Amino acid sequence: MEMHETPPLFCADLDEAVASRHWLLDAMYGRELLKTRLRQLRPDMRISRWCEQPELDPMLDAVIDDLNLREWHKPSGLKRRLAYLVTVFAMMNAVRCGELLPAW
C-alpha cells in the first residue's frame, strides 16, 4: 500500500503570503477608507458598511495603488498610531468630498 503525502506548508510560504498582504486590508479604519473609495469607483457593487467582505480583498488591494498608499508602512508606537488615525480620517473625508488626499 502506497501512502501519498502532501507537501507541508512551510513557514516561509506562510510568511511570504502574509508579507504580500498590505496592512491596510487588516486595519479597521484603513479598510473602511479603501471601501469608501471602492464605492466611488464601483457604484454598481453592493459594499457593506457593516461586514468585512473578504471577497473584496483583491479589489481593495487595487484601491491601495489607486490612492498611492502602497509605500505607507504600518505605524508602530502610540504617537504613530494616533497620527495614522488622524490621517486616515482626513483621507476618508477627502475621498468622500472628492478632494486630494492629505500627505501621509
Please tell me the predicted confidence (pLDDT) of residue 52: 87
CA 31 to CA 11: how far, in whole Å? 27
Residue 69 resides in a domain: yes
Residue 90 resides in a domain: yes
> E strands within 19-79?
none
Residue 89 resides in a domain: yes
* Average pLDDT, 10 consecutive residues per value, the chain (104 residues): 48 53 95 95 92 94 95 95 95 91 74
Residue 42 resides in a domain: yes
Structural domain harbouring 27: 11-97
**Based on the structure, what is the number of domains in the chain?**
1
Residue 80 resides in a domain: yes
Residue 2 resides in a domain: no
Residue 88 resides in a domain: yes
Please check whether residue 99 is in contact with residue 37, taking contact to mean a CB–CB distance below 8 angstroms.
no
CA atoms within 13 Å, Cβ hemisphere of 75: 15
Q: What is the pTM of this model?
A: 0.78
CA 17 to CA 9: how far, in whole Å? 11
Residue 58 resides in a domain: yes
Please check whether residue 64 is in contact with residue 95, taking contact to mean a CB–CB distance below 8 angstroms.
no
**84-87 long-range Cβ contacts below 8 angstroms, 24+ apart:** 84/27, 85/29
